[in-house]
Amino acid sequence: MTSLLSTPEFWQYLSIPVIAALIGWTTNWLAIKMTFYPLEFVGNPPLLGWQGIIPSKARKMAAISVDATISKIGTVQEIFQQIDPEVLAAHIIYTVEPRTEEYVDELMLKEYPTFWENLPSSARNMVYDRVRKSTPQLVDNLVGDVSDNIEDLLDIKSMVIERLAKDKRLLNRIFIECGEVEFRFIINSGFYFGFLFGLVQMTVWYFYQSWWVLPFFGLMVGWATNWIALNVIFRPLHEKKVGPVRFQGLFLKRQQQVAESFCHIVTHEILTVGNIINAILEGPKGDRARNMVKKHIKPLVDETAGMGKALTQMAFGPTGFATLKNQVGQKAIEISQTSFNNPVFETDRARAVESIMVERMIALSSEEFQDLLRPCFQEDEIKLILVGAFLGFAAGICQLVFVFGGSVF
């Protein structure tokens, strides 16, 4: 035994499966890294260089992700109802009420500073009170109108796609966190599968030492370890039983865990109340939404003026009174966009939406559920396999030259 261990040929042969295992691990690790990084193209486009597959097709990948999940687990109306329009209205009122005097003073001093400063404090207090009393009903009406028209005002798909297309790091996070276990398996399995291929390679090399054997097996290891790992992750789609052993794709077995991870990111970082309100006011139907806000809030000026409306119109003039109404509408839009910068409220509403989305996502079929992660491997998958095969081939040549001295050339 001692003499065997001291024989150079023994260590040369033993190096074959070890190197094959390292090739499998390295090529799989590189394939995962090349899927997500770098975020921006590095090199001289279009051919000399690389950009992560997911970031390079951010908009397409975001669209696939939305189609595979959000579009199947919740409509715009359902999501908005989970946020709860009544809770939204109550939060707006809760946010605005303490600052009523500040908002009124800001508007009046901007438009009619002399009039407002010369107005007796009792008259100003009456205005403040009227605004406080009128605001809750106007806000309730506004939120109710938005809720009734939410399907037309908000395009959830476009909203999510735009956010993910702009934030490639967040897009990467969704795939990486949802597929963390699978990516780790792909990398580690490369080592194990590579070692098994290496044993076959070692046996072939023992009986047939031709120059092409090591490079060829290196190429096969680089290609096959990726292919096998992907199939173990996604196949079989449905659980199969062989004796006491049950088989199913690794990713598919984790449907509940993945659903919780995915829905948490989406609801807490994308479909937040603040983002939804901004998407309504700044989106394709933003003009209609802003006009809706103005329509419901402008009457506040009439109600505040009360019986003194005629005198107020005379003091400000017809144009001035209309300008004041418009300024009130603009202020309402501004308040709508800033009222939800409250982490506690955002988190509370995110959890409400998250609960229904997780429930729906767990109920997806295996065919539907695999579409969440499968596309990130399918996009340019052949490039990753070819890179792995090339690196395996190169490693085989190095093994031939540096371990066996290239004596078979």
Q: How far apart are CA 151 and CA 163, in angstroms?
A: 19
Q: Is residue 39 part of a domain?
A: yes
Q: Is residue 167 part of a domain?
A: yes
pLDDT tens, 268-308?
998 888 899 889 888 888 899 998 888 888 787 766 655 44
Provide the residue-wise pLDDT of the chain in tens; the chain has 409 residues: 455 456 667 677 788 888 888 888 888 888 888 888 999 989 887 678 888 888 888 888 888 878 777 777 778 888 888 888 899 999 988 988 888 888 888 888 887 788 778 888 888 888 888 888 888 898 899 999 999 999 899 888 888 888 888 999 998 998 888 888 888 888 888 888 888 888 888 888 788 878 787 788 778 877 777 777 777 777 777 778 777 777 777 788 888 898 899 889 988 998 888 899 889 888 888 899 998 888 888 787 766 655 445 446 555 666 766 777 778 888 888 888 788 888 888 999 899 888 888 888 888 888 888 877 776 666 656 766 777 777 778 877 877 777 676 555 4
Position 312 scores a pLDDT of 60
Q: How far apart are CA 217 and CA 194, in angstroms?
A: 10
By residue count, the chain amounts to 409
The answer to whether the bond into 236 is cis (omega within 30° of 0) is: yes
Q: Is residue 187 part of a domain?
A: yes
State the chain's maximal CA–CA distance in angstroms. 113
Reading the block at residue 114, the tokens are 């002399």
Position 406 scores a pLDDT of 56
Position 306 scores a pLDDT of 53
Residues with Cβ within 8 Å of residue 114, at least 6 apart in sequence: none
Residues with Cβ within 8 Å of residue 74, at least 6 apart in sequence: 82, 353, 356, 357, 360
Chain centre distance of CA 242: 38
Q: How far apart are CA 125 and CA 155, in angstroms?
A: 42
Question: What is the residue range of 41's domain?
Answer: 8-404
Q: Is residue 3 part of a domain?
A: no
pLDDT tens, 365-389?
888 888 777 766 666 567 667 777 7
Q: Is residue 182 part of a domain?
A: yes
Q: Is residue 374 part of a domain?
A: yes
Q: Is residue 252 part of a domain?
A: yes
HSE of 21, CA atoms in CB hemisphere, 13 A: 11
Q: What is the pTM of this model?
A: 0.80
Q: Is residue 213 part of a domain?
A: yes
Number of domains in the chain: 1
Q: How far apart are CA 271 and CA 274, in angstroms?
A: 8
Position 308 scores a pLDDT of 46
Q: How far apart are CA 400 and CA 175, in angstroms?
A: 39
Contact 226, 243 (CB under 8 A): no
Ordered alpha helix ranges (H), 235-305: 250-253, 255-269, 273-282, 286-297, 299-305
